[in-house]
Chains A and B, each alone.
Chain A
C-alpha cells in the first residue's frame, strides 16, 4: 500500500506538473488582482496603447494557432483527403481549446465577464468589425464544441447522441470554414482603422488577406507541431493507425504549408510594391521587416520544400515549430512592435510581468486541458466500439 502511494506520488509530482502547478497558482493570484484592482494594477496599458499582449498574443496568436481545426477538417471532409483523418480529432481539440482560451483571455482584457453577451443582446454594433469578430468567434467556438463532442460522447458511451452529431459533420465543417474565413481576416481588418499608427511596411489594404493566409499557414504548421509533441509525450495513447500515418501527415501538410508560405511571400512583396514602400526597407524597421519576411516566411517555405522533397520528416517538424514562432513574431509586430512606431520610446508599450504571467497561465491551462482530455478520451486512437466518421 505504501509502495502504491509512493508510486502515485512520484507520478503526480513530475517536473511538468510541479512547474504547471506553480504557474496555475500564480495565474489564479494575478486573476484575483486583475478582477479586484483593475487593469491599472496589472498592466502597462495606456490610452496610447490600449491593446497589449492579452490581445496581441492571447487573442491574435491564439486564434491563428487554433486554425488547425478548420484547415484539417476542410482537408479531410471537404477535399476528401481521408488519409489525414487521424489528425482531425487532435486538430479539432486544439482548435476548441484555443478558442475557449481566447474567450477566457478576452475577459481579462475587457473585464466584467457577465457583460460578454451584451454585444449580441443589448447593444448590437453591427457596423463594427469587432462585432463581426465577436459573433464569428462565439459561433465558431460553438461549432468546434459540437465537432469535438463525438470524443466525449464515445467516452461516456452515449451512442445515439454521438450518431446524431456525426451526421452533422459536413455541415459543421462548412460552417467552420466560412466562420474562420470571416473572422481570421477581420482580425487583420481591425488594423485598417489605424493607418497612421501601424508602420507602413506592416500596414496594407491587403492586411485582412495576409491574416487569413497566415492563419492557414499557422493551422498547417500547428497540426504538424502538435502531432510531433503528441507522439513524443502521449505515444502510449496512440493506436497503430495514428502512429503509421503521422509521417504521411507531416509530408502532406508540409507540402501544403510550403505552397501557402511561398504564395504568402509573393503577395507580401507585391504589397510592398503596391504601396511603393521600398524606401522604408533601408530603415531599422525595414531591417526587422526583412528578418520577418526572409527569416520567418521564405526560410520556412524553403525548408518545408526541402523536407518534402528529401522525405526529411525531422526537418519538416522543426520547420513547423519555426513557422509557429514566425506567426507569433508576425502578430507581435503588427499589434505591438510596429504599432505606435512614431511615439518616443518612453511612450511605447512593454508588458507588465502580470500580463506575461496571465498569458503563460492561459497557455499552461491549455496544455493541461489537452493532456487531461487526450489521456481519457479517444482523441489519439479510434474507439473500438465505433466506426470512424
Chain B
C-alpha cells in the first residue's frame, strides 16, 4: 500500500494482480477438468 497514493495507482495495482490471477485460473481450469473427468470413460 506504500506506493499507492491515487485512485489511478490503486486501480492499476489491483487490476494487475487480477489479470495475473485470471491467467492462473485459465491455466488451472483445464487441469481441474482433466482431474475431474479423467476417469469418466472407465
Interface residues of A (CB under 8 A from B): 255, 258-259, 262, 266, 269-270, 273-276, 279, 305, 308-311
Q: Could you say which of B10, B18, B38 contacts A309, with CB atoms under 8 Å apart?
A: B38
Interface residues of B (CB under 8 A from A): 1, 4, 10, 13-14, 17-18, 21-22, 25, 32, 35-36, 38-39
Q: Do B21 and A309 touch (CB < 8 A)?
A: no
Q: Do B32 and A273 touch (CB < 8 A)?
A: no
What are 7 pairs between A and B in contact, CB < 8 Å? A266-B21, A269-B21, A275-B14, A276-B4, A308-B36, A309-B35, A311-B39
Q: Do A305 and B10 touch (CB < 8 A)?
A: no
Nearest B residue to A311, CB-CB: B39
Please name 12 further chain A to chain B contacts, defined as beta carbons within 8 Å, in addition to the given A258-B36, A276-B13, sorted by A numbering: A269-B21, A270-B18, A270-B22, A273-B17, A274-B18, A276-B14, A276-B17, A279-B1, A305-B32, A309-B35, A309-B36, A310-B39
Q: Do B14 and A305 touch (CB < 8 A)?
A: no
CB distance from A107 to the nearest CB of B (A): 43
Chain A neighbourhood of B18, CB < 8 A: 270, 273-274
Nearest B residue to A306, CB-CB: B35
CB distance from B17 to the nearest CB of A (A): 4
Chain B neighbourhood of A274, CB < 8 A: 14, 18
Closest 4 CB pairs of A and B: A273-B17, A273-B18, A266-B25, A305-B36
Within the assembled complex, what's the spacing in Å between the Cα atoms of A310 and B37?
10
Q: Could you say which of A258, A270, A276, A311 contacts B21, with CB atoms under 8 Å apart?
A: A270
CB distance from B32 to the nearest CB of A (A): 6
Within the assembled complex, what's the spacing in Å between the Cα atoms of A270 and B25?
10
Nearest A residue to B25, CB-CB: A266
Q: Do B39 and A309 touch (CB < 8 A)?
A: yes
CB distance from A1 to the nearest CB of B (A): 59
Nearest B residue to A254, CB-CB: B36
CB distance from B34 to the nearest CB of A (A): 10
CB distance from A56 to the nearest CB of B (A): 30
Within the assembled complex, what's the spacing in Å between the Cα atoms of A259 and B18?
20
Within the assembled complex, what's the spacing in Å between the Cα atoms of A274 and B39?
36
Q: Do B10 and A276 touch (CB < 8 A)?
A: yes
Nearest B residue to A255, CB-CB: B36
Within the assembled complex, what's the spacing in Å between the Cα atoms of A350 and B20?
41
